[in-house]
Chains A and B, each alone.
Chain A
């Protein structure tokens, strides 16, 4: 519960800092990122190392905390 700030970065020049709730789903996060970066949310893929995050699971469950950076493709 609470506000966290996540950094999403594809290493091609797009880096977005997004404020979100830890109980948001990954899908919500993607929408936020899409709103900020201008790409479609369904095109965004979020990864940490080699595990891709699924849309219907919350950030809290993925243990994504404040200040973490995710890989965006």
Chain B
């Protein structure tokens, strides 16, 4: 390729410059809701990674999170007081900040660790479906014809199934467990990425410069890696962000129904199930309240950020009304 003389470094700098000047970022950063969402995500990430590191370094004993040596119904309310006012007034001198569950495990620590699990399994789900979706979408866009048709119409049919029910069907065939739940959800989410990537890739391929490159005989993979992928990055990122929250909810839902996390795992979904089962009706609210709260906050964070990104991306929405 004689037309491409740019060295890697120069391309790198060009990319950063473009990013700095991009209307996408300016637009996004001026969106207060999106910034709020981003802060939520950062907070949860610090929580999760921090707790994981604490366990790794040895400050926190992982066994303490799983320990079941105490008999059933040996719970301890947040700061020793089950009422909300009592909790707020005794925040200063507090033993179990969020109380303990029925096995007397500290809800605060388990919730913190739950953030790590949610991020971990959420990342794997989203990353796997992104990779699959990028693969299928690019192939569909690049080769066109019946390949495109078969891939994309299949994705359409998969998309028309309700996500939780499709995931349940996959679980019914392949069995239960957190990793199988991740597998099921990857299947559910892949079509969304394939569709977005194909759309973006088609736009790139229409570009005159890229057309010329192809006409000059560039290899398929080279065109895809150098031109199609970098230019599809923004829509892929938006789609990942939006689906991250959904993935975390769906994973928790599968755990809640008993098909995901197994007994004892400090995952938010499982803590919710157990917390509801073990005493919500008797007023032991803290066991399920806190994991649920952090789950909802995380998902809200991703949805707010994703929404903001989409608005920043889609120029049609900006001049909606005068």
Does chain A bind chain B?
Answer: no
B residues adjacent to A (C-beta < 8 A) = none
B-binding residues in A (CB < 8 A): none
